Amino acid sequence: MRTIDAVDTVSFDGTEVTMLDQTRLPGERVRLTIQDTAQMHEAIRTLRVRGAPAIGVAAAFGLWLGVRALPDDTPRAEAETQLRREQAYLAGARPTAVNLTWALERCAAEALQTPGSTADLKRAALEAAIRLRSDEEATTRRIGEHGAALLAGLQGVLTHCNAGSAATVGLGTALAPIYVAAERGHVLHVFADETRPLLQGARITAWELQEAGVPVTVITDSMAAVVMRQGKVGAVIVGCDRVAANGDVANKIGTYGVALLARAHGLPFYVAGPTSTIDLATPDGDHIEIEQRAAQEVTHHGGVAMAPAGVDVFNPAFDVTPAELVTALITERGVIYPPYTQGLRDVKA
Ligand code: MRU
């Protein structure tokens, strides 16, 4: 059986935190060494590291970087205040993916619960980030195993954005079932929406699938309907940045349109993500904060203007797909079917 190698998005090499700069893909593979929270904040905000689970893990290491330089004899109370300050700062890097605040709170709580000196707090913060990374890696494989069963018998699937290995610290969320299926000898053909405006589908999904030897065809976002109409795909599978308590799903801008197309063509629309992406404190999609990004991402391409200077731009980074369009949610704890309110509560219990 072949094994798919995960992209090394965020790692700790025993001394330093390093990350793949995803803004340089697919042309260049540049590895960054992140020295402090300001650099980590910048890397998350500018999408050098991106994808809900990956930014959670990156921020967890950022939290440790925020206390790393404190002298060991710093009063513990002072170190705790600094940890909480760095946590709030990192949590503000991007608003939509709940994994960011979830991962930061999990690691801050683990560090603060560890008794002892400032040196103990620092060590605990690092251990918490390493443990999170390893748990998140295992989670992606379990998502892959649950999802692979749903894709059995299919020849082609369509995905939007990048919810692959590059968006996590393992096999991905939406792409994990495709990788697990490939490992077992069932090779699916993936149609990857290019995903305007930042092209995560064309630049990153296509790159990582190619690297893994999984056949992939890049299409512009406007071609998804034709691909479905021509019967090239038997399902759609995407990732998620936040799942509200009622099953509404925030994911990359354009996902909602793909879900509507899937419904119109009678195709299942699957959403894959770890249970940490489920936010029971958010009642529905209307309560999810949607990140608004710079106009330049829409008006410019490779530094060249594609629209007249000064034109008004609408650039939400995410949209919300209503729960009624979601066929099933694939998590590491199993597949959840509608009605979602109870299923989501059960899986989080
Ligand atoms: O803006 P990005 O590139 O961070 O957006 C990523 C997505 O929308 C992914 O689909 C989502 O985070 C799920 S990743 C496993």
What's the average model confidence in pLDDT over 243-247?
98
In ligand 1, which atom is closest to the CA atom of 277? 13
Q: What ipTM, to 2 d.p.?
A: 0.98
69 Cα: distance to centroid of ligand 1 (angstroms): 31
Please give the C-alpha separations between residue 117 and each of 65, 80, 143, 170, in angstroms, as whole numbers: 17, 10, 39, 34
Decide if 164 contacts 263 (C-beta within 8 A): no
> Of 318, 346, 320, whose CA–CA distance to 244 is shortest?
320
* Helix or strand (DSSP H, E) at 10: strand 10-12
Rg (CA), the chain: 20
Q: What is the pLDDT of residue 54?
A: 98
Q: Which neighbouring-strand residues pair with 20?
A: 31
CB distance 53 to ligand 1 below 6 Å: yes
Q: What is the pLDDT of residue 43?
A: 98
Q: What is the pLDDT of residue 273?
A: 98
CA dist 172 and 59 (Å) reads 18
| CA atoms 169, 174, 178, 184: torsion sign | positive
pLDDT of 1 strictly over 80: no
What's the average model confidence in pLDDT over 259-272?
99
Atom 6 of ligand 1, residue of closest alpha carbon: 51
pLDDT tens figures, 54-112: 999 999 999 999 999 999 999 999 999 999 999 999 999 999 999 999 999 999 999 99
Span 142-348 CATH architecture: 3-Layer(aba) Sandwich (3.40)
CB distance 49 to ligand 1 below 6 Å: no
In ligand 1, which atom is closest to the CA atom of 164? 15
CA dist 25 and 31 (Å) reads 11
Confidence of residue 192 (pLDDT cuts 50, 70, 90): very high
What's the average model confidence in pLDDT over 252-257?
98
CB distance 161 to ligand 1 below 6 Å: yes
Across the chain, mean pLDDT equals: 98
pLDDT of 216 strictly over 80: yes
241 labelled catalytic: yes
Residue 50 labelled as part of a binding site: yes
pLDDT of 265 strictly over 90: yes
pLDDT tens figures, 304-320: 999 999 999 999 999 99
Active-site option among 241, 248, 279, 319: 241
CB distance 168 to ligand 1 below 6 Å: yes
In ligand 1, which atom is closest to the CA atom of 168? 15
Percent of the chain exceeding pLDDT 90 equals 99
50 Cα: distance to centroid of ligand 1 (angstroms): 6
140 Cα: distance to centroid of ligand 1 (angstroms): 14
73 Cα: distance to centroid of ligand 1 (angstroms): 40
| The domain over range 10-141 is classified in CATH as 3.40.50.2300 | no
In ligand 1, which atom is closest to the CA atom of 291? 1
pLDDT tens figures, 111-145: 999 999 999 999 999 999 999 999 999 999 999 99
Burial class (CB within 10 angstroms; exposed 0-12, middle 13-18, buried 19+) of 318: buried
Q: What is the pLDDT of residue 340?
A: 98
pLDDT tens figures, 156-166: 999 999 999 99
Q: What is the pLDDT of residue 2?
A: 86
* Spans of all domains in the chain: 10-141, 142-348
Confidence of residue 296 (pLDDT cuts 50, 70, 90): very high
CB distance 328 to ligand 1 below 6 Å: no
